[in-house]
Amino acid sequence: MVELALVLPMLLLLTLTAIDFGRVFLGWVNLQQMTRIAANHAAENASAWGAPGDPAERAEYQAKVRNDARLINCELPDPLPDPVLSGGTQLGAPVSVSLSCEFSIITPVISNVIGGTILVSA
């Protein structure tokens, strides 16, 4: 029984660490998908970021990213960064999107060791 009392807290800590790592990894994968979808939307509607612009398309871009971030418990910067249109505003021109968000750690011991949040970028 003494061995169990000594080993059980360590096993519990390892299990909770694995759960937190899994949550952050899943969040990173979802963040990668969010940036891919955002870049695709921006490439299809590149004229929305041109000189006159289209506020409705920009709002749809923001809504898509924010809705996906809400599902993965991610805190995005406010306002969201605009996509970078390196090839101009022609249809299909290269677009890059960079997003970063903070994931909160749920295990109290681990959050004391590494901090309450982890910054993940895509």
Percentage of the chain modeled with pLDDT above 90: 15
Side chain identity at 87, as an amino acid letter?
G
Cβ-count burial 75-110 (b if 16+ within 10 Å, e if not): ebeeebeebebeeeeeeeeebebebebbbebebeeb
Query: Facing residues of 121 across strands?
Result: 100
Domain segments of the chain as ranges? 2-121
Q: What is the pTM of this model?
A: 0.81
Q: Which bin fits 88, alpha (ψ -120 to 50), beta or left (φ > 0)? A: left
- At 27 the three-state DSSP class reads helix
The CA distance from 76 to 101, in Å, is 5
**Tens of pLDDT, residues 8-51:** 999 998 998 899 899 889 989 999 999 999 888 888 888 887 77
The CA distance from 63 to 48, in Å, is 15
Helix (H) or strand (E) holding 113, with range, is helix 108-114
The CA distance from 81 to 27, in Å, is 19
* pLDDT at 55 (0 to 100): 85
